[in-house]
Each structure stands twice: as C-alpha cells, then as structure tokens.
Structure 1
Amino acid sequence: MKKPIYQMNRSYFLAFLFFLSAIFVGNAVAQEIAAPGTYLSALKTEFVKKWPENHTINLVFHGHSVPTGYFATPNVNTLDAYPHSLLVKLKQLYPFAVINMITTSIGGENSEQGQKRLKKEVLIHRPDVLFIDYALNDRGIGLERSKVAMEKMIKTALSKGIKVILLTPSPDISTDILMADNPLQQHSRQLIELAKKYHIGLSDSFEQFKSLAKSGHNLKDYMAQSNHPNKKGHELIAEELFKYFR
C-alpha cells in the first residue's frame, strides 16, 4: 500500500516543496516588468570599463518616425531626437564608454512591417539592447495584430540574449490623452502586459505625458506637430529611458 505524502522520505518531501516554490516564484517573476535599477546591470558594468578592457556597446532603436527624428515633417532633427538625447546623458555618466546609437526605424512603419525587417536589418547590428517603439502607429493595425508582431520581435530578440525595452506611445494631440480607454492608452496597457509577461524593460513615457496633461500642462508645448514630439518632448522620452542606465 502506498504511503501518504506526509510519510515520504524527508529529503524527497523537501525537494518536492522546493520544486513547487520554484515554480511559484518563477511565475511571479515572469509577471513583473524588469526593474530599471538591475535589468541592465551587466551592461552598466561594461560602461565603466576603461580602454583597453572596454568594448563597443550597440543600442538599437527600432520603430517609426519618432525615434527616426521626424519633427515637423519632412524635417528630420536627428540630434534632437531621443536616441541622441539619451546618448548625451549616457556620455555624461559614462565618459569611458564606447556607445553606438543605431536607428533602424522608418517613418510611417508599424510593428508588422518592423517585425519582417528584424532579422536582416536589425539583428545584424548585434544590439546589446533593443528598444522597440511602434505603439503610436500600431493604432492603424489594432491591438491583436500589434500584439502578435510585438511578441514575435520580443521572442526573437530574447532568444539571441538581447535585452529588450519597450516604449509606450508618445502623444498624438488629435487624441485626448486623458479620455478613458483611448487608443493610445489601450496600446500602452498592452505593452505593459507584454513587458510583464516576458520580464523585460518598459519605458512608460505615455504615463509621463499623461501626468503633464493632468497637471494642466499644454501638450502642444511638447510637440513639433500633431503626432511628433519636439525637442522638449524627446527629452522627456530620453529621461524615461535613462532610468535603466543610472
């Protein structure tokens, strides 16, 4: 007759409990956004190394017109866009680091189009961190299609050992950012859930712009045109990203 579990060998019983706790903890961790203070710890260690121990770090920005640097179309203000603004902040903090800021973004593109280019045009740059910014344009393909494309990119990058940081959308002033469950809010929420699911980074500039609107700021002061931030808006996005590098 089989012995009940409480009569099992003590070592087997403890191992069984450890197994269950590991599953529970693993599931709990997988449902959290990666902590800004620790997610890029290994990379930050590389940033402080001096020549000849240091090596080049590639930060790749994949997305639409905003990371590309479009302000008032057709003007492209590369040096005022958030990838370059982030580089300025990083070089102030890490003067010995060799950092490549690489933009593979294309104006007008959505995540489905970006996913098709990922292997040949993005991963070829061997990113240490991949930033993905498509939510603003993904309103045109809807939540379901956006989720499928985003998950494909996330899984592909993670399978290569690449750190991933998603960006919630910057504003489009034709949409009331404070309106309940507006399309930008919906895509922002979906990105938050994806970041939790895969335990990756999330830069929530949408929430920062929303907080500004709530406190009475005019978002037009942060925009070059309806759907493109100006230098001030890009600085806000860069500051949110910088939290992962402090």
Structure 2
Amino acid sequence: MTKKWPNNRTINLVFHGHSVPAGYFKTPIVNTLKSYPFQVLNELKKKYPFAVINIINTSIGGENSISGEERFKSHVLTHKPDVLFIDYALNDRRIGLEKSKKAWKKMINQALKDGVKVILLTPSPDLKIDLTKADNELEQHSNQIIKLSQEYEVGLVDSYSLFKEIQKNCDCVADYMSQGNHPNEKGHSVISTAIMDFF
C-alpha cells in the first residue's frame, strides 16, 4: 500500500457478515459511511495516500454464517479479496456453536485455499446480554472464534473483549450503541481502531 503509481495496484478489502458490518445503526437506518468498514477505509487513506483501496461489503442484515457460507464463493471470492473480514457471531446465536463452527471453518478453508488473508471478528454487544457474566452466549461464540483464529493461524479482532472491558470499567456500553444490537459511530470506532492495528 506504500507503492506509488504506476507500481501500485488495487487492494480489495472484503467485509462479510451481518447487519453490523453492513452499516445498520437504528433499524432501518443504514449509516454506511460511519460503519467500521468505511471508518477503516478513511483511516487507511490517511495512512496510505498512494493506495487504491476498495472496500467491498458483502454483508446482509439478519444473516448468519450458514447462509453466508452458502453464497461465499459467488459473493465473496469472486471479488478476489486481498484481506477478508468475517463477522457473524452476533447472529450465530440462533444456530448454535456447532453449526456456526462448521460454517466458519468452510469459509476460512475456502479463503485460505485462494491465498486470501483472513481476519475473524468476535461479536459486538447486544444490550440484552450482560457482558460481565461469565460464559454468556456471546462469550461462548467469542471463545470459539478465538480458537478458530489460533487453529488456522489467521488474524483476530477481539471486539467482544474490547466492549467487555468498557462495560467493566464504566458500565457504559449502552453509550456505544444505536440500538440494542447495533453499535453507533462510537461503537464502530472501537472495532475499526482494532482493525487498524493490522495496518
């Protein structure tokens, strides 16, 4: 990303997941430019002014990793991502740990086979879940994603731990949310800042 024209090339960053990376704030408002994928683009352009960077968002509100995996080849790999971000855990509670693990593994394997760099994201908050309560639903999915990142030796953005720490410190995670299960701009910034550590 530091190369100048004519030696540079387009970099494709693909964000695959549910309503949060899709940019849903208070449903049905979609605040694309304040969502974490576009916050990342904004920060990358400050840091790498010569780079041509595409943010490609294949996320669909309400989707879980099973349906995300079913369209993975046609909707994600077709874009030839340089880096792929996967963020499904918030909705994967509906399908359970085993089914979500199977779907995540399929997506990771397909991406790695194509030489794509992969970064997994643990879930952002749901205000119905007490983040300080050990072994809650979100923490179980978070732990599973951490183990997958270790198994496949891929990147990890541990959003869950960041928000859990905020809740421990000030009991104010609600200040980072636009509604019960969607972060606001401040909440998206927590995630985008963690992603920028990779760049």
TM-score category, normalised to shorter length:
over 0.9
CA RMSD of aligned residues (A): 0.5
2:46 counterpart (92, 103, 117)? 92
The one-letter amino acid paired with 2:86 is: I
The 5 A counterparts of 1:40-189 are: 47-189=1-143
Distance (Å, rounded) in 2 between the aligned partners of 1:208 and 1:166: 15
Over residues 180-211 of structure 1, what are the superposed CA-to-partner deviations in whole Å (9 max), with x where a residue is unaligned? 10000000000000000000000011111000
1:237 counterpart (168, 191, 196)? 191
**SS of residue in 2 equivalent to 1:100:** strand
Distance (Å, rounded) in 2 between the aligned partners of 1:165 and 1:94: 20
Distance (Å, rounded) in 2 between the aligned partners of 1:63 and 1:174: 21
Unaligned runs of 5+ in 1: 1-46
Q: TM-score, length-normalised on structure 2?
A: 0.99
**SS of residue in 2 equivalent to 1:51:** coil
Q: TM-score, length-normalised on structure 1?
A: 0.80
Over residues 66-96 of structure 1, what are the superposed CA-to-partner deviations in whole Å (9 max), with x where a residue is unaligned? 0000000000000000000001111111110
Distance (Å, rounded) in 1 between the aligned partners of 2:71 and 2:77: 9
Unaligned runs of 5+ in 2: none
Distance (Å, rounded) in 1 between the aligned partners of 2:104 and 2:75: 16
Deviation at residue 228 of structure 1 after TM alignment: 0.1
Deviation at residue 217 of structure 1 after TM alignment: 3.7
- Name the CA shift for 1:90/1:142 in 2 (closer, same or farther; >3 Å): same
The one-letter amino acid paired with 1:213 is: Q
The percentage of aligned residue pairs carrying the same residue is 61
Q: Larger Cα Rg: Structure 1 or Structure 2?
A: 1
**SS of residue in 2 equivalent to 1:101:** strand
Runs of at least 4 residues of structure 1 off by over 6 A?
Answer: none
Distance (Å, rounded) in 1 between the aligned partners of 2:180 and 2:105: 28
